[in-house]
Each structure stands twice: as structure tokens, then as C-alpha cells.
Amino acid sequence: MNLVQHYFPNLTELQVKQFEQLESLYKDWNLKINVVSRKDIDELYLRHVLHSLAIAKLITFKPHAKIMDVGTGGGFPGIPLAIMFPECNFHLVDSIAKKIKVVDEVVEGLGLTNVKTSHCRVEEINDTYDFIVSRAVAAMPTFVHWIKGKIAKKQNHELKNGIIYLKGGDLTEELQDYKTATIYNITDYFDEDFYETKKIVHLPIKWKG
Ligand SMILES: C[S@@+](CC[C@H](N)C(=O)[O-])C[C@H]1O[C@@H](n2cnc3c(N)ncnc32)[C@H](O)[C@@H]1O
């Protein structure tokens, strides 16, 4: 938790409390339904919470922004971002029921009112969002296909509406067809070795209507 406060020193009391609560909520729920690997649960803040919050270093979502987290699993990056941006609306989607069950329990435990969840494949979602965030779900071509038509036309942020994806390693081949993609190194935000190969990919998606 100190890690989060170190990189985000201006959190409100409520946010500090909610970030602290994550540890016990995930530890408890993970015993019942395994959504975070054993190794990762001991490093929850480094590997999941702060990693998710790298997106908050790239962009400050404005109040009322609509953000979908595709393939949220146990709630990453969606839940840390929903704590960080309480005035934004988050839609967390996963095709596996037990994962959404854990997300629902964590959302309730934290008292978050800005998160809705859906147990379905993202292809079934029929709505539009300023940004679609994700981590570790699908390669970019598949992902872009899935979210077609789901990015809002109206731009409210300096960063163009589109996909914000947490990825690792060498992305040259995967992104070769996406000339408008920008890659940000998470090491520019956080010093820990864990982030050495970790990136954020921003891909603006143009609305074709
Ligand atoms: C490797 S996990 C990543 C979970 C989380 N994003 C994280 O980084 O901890 C991938 C998740 O994507 C979900 N998923 C895969 N394809 C999906 C689809 N088409 N629609 C919704 N969820 C999907 C899976 O059920 C799984 O929970």
C-alpha cells in the first residue's frame, strides 16, 4: 500500500482506505475463488494495483468519462482505476462468471458506486466508451475487432478516445499494422524492476458513423 501512496501522494482519506482494503478483500476472496495467483497475491500492490494505476499516470480521466475494462478478471486494471477516479463510470466485463462474482464482492466491500459489471463476452456489449482499458486479454488485432463500434465519437480528453492497453515485452510485430499506436514505458513512472519491460499502448480509434 505504501507503494501506491509513494507514487500517488494526494489521495483522499477514502481512497487510502479503499486501497488498503484491497489486500484483505482479495486475500479473503482468493481463498474461495482463485482469481489472483498465489505469488501475485503476496505482491498485490506491485503486480496488480500499481500496475493498473500506470494508466492514471498517462491520463487523468475527467469526471463522467465512460471507461470499459475488457477481460477484467479479478478487477484489473478496472478496480484500482475506479478508486482513483470516483467521478468516472467504469464498466468491468469478463466472460467467466466466477471472476465477475469476485469483482462484484470487491466492489461491494469497497462501497464503490461508479462500477457496473457484466458477465459476458465483450463482443455482446452494445454501448460506447471514451476509453477501453485492458491487460493480458488478447493480441491487438483480435482486440480491435472485438471493440469495433464501442468507442464514443465525442472527444473530451487531450488523449484521443480509444484503447489503453497494458502490455509487456517487444511489441514491434504485434503493433506493426497500427501506425497510430503510441507506446509508453511504465519505467518512466515507476522505479521498480517489475516494470522494466512493461508498457502502456494507446491506440486512438476513429469513430466511423
Ligand atoms: C489473463 S486474464 C487477465 C485478467 C485481468 N485483466 C488481469 O490482468 O489481471 C484474461 C481474462 O480475459 C477474459 N476474456 C477473454 N476473452 C474475453 C472476451 N471476449 N470478453 C470478455 N472477457 C474475455 C477471460 O475470461 C480472463 O478472465
Q: Which pTM was predicted? A: 0.97
What cell was used for 97? 462468471
- Location of C-alpha cell 515485452: 169
pLDDT tens digits, one per residue of 81-100: 999 999 999 999 999 999 99
Question: What are phi and psi for residue 16, nearest 5 degrees?
Answer: -60, -45
Query: What mean pLDDT do residues 155-172 have?
Result: 95
Rounded CA separation 98/199 (Å) = 28
Query: What mean pLDDT do residues 153-177 have?
Result: 94
Complex prediction ipTM: 0.99
Span from the CA of 72 to the centroid of ligand 1 (angstroms): 6
Span from the CA of 9 to the centroid of ligand 1 (angstroms): 31
Half-sphere exposure of 56 (CA within 13 A, CB side): 23
Q: Are 200 and 164 in contact (CB under 8 A)?
A: yes
Q: What percent of the chain stands above pLDDT 90?
A: 89
Q: What are the distances in angstroms from CA 160 to CA 102, 151, 164, 190, 201?
A: 32, 10, 10, 24, 12
Interior angle at CA 133, CA 127 and CA 135, nearest 5: 130
User: Can you list the positions of beta strands (E) in the chain?
Assistant: 66-70, 89-94, 115-119, 131-135, 162-168, 182-185, 198-204
Identify the band that residue 60 occupies on the pLDDT scale cut at 50, 70 and 90.
Answer: very high
- Residue 8 above 70 pLDDT? yes
Q: What is residue 39's predicted lDDT score, i.e. its pLDDT?
A: 82
- Residue 209 above 60 pLDDT? no
- Location of C-alpha cell 491520463: 59
153, containing H or E segment: none
Question: What are phi and psi for residue 126, nearest 5 degrees?
Answer: -125, 70
Annotated binding-site residue? 169: no
Domains with residue ranges and CATH for the chain: 2-204 (3.40.50.150)
The residue nearest atom 20 of ligand 1, judged by CA position, is 121
Burial 70-82 (b: 16+ CB within 10 A, else e): bbbbbbbbbbbbb
What cell was used for 175? 503493433
- Location of C-alpha cell 503486480: 47
Q: Are 90 and 118 in contact (CB under 8 A)?
A: no
pLDDT tens digits, one per residue of 139-160: 999 999 999 999 999 999 999 9
Span from the CA of 204 to the centroid of ligand 1 (angstroms): 21
Span from the CA of 99 to the centroid of ligand 1 (angstroms): 9
The residue nearest atom 19 of ligand 1, judged by CA position, is 121
Residues with CB under 6 A from ligand 1: 70-74, 76, 93-96, 99, 121-123, 135-137, 146
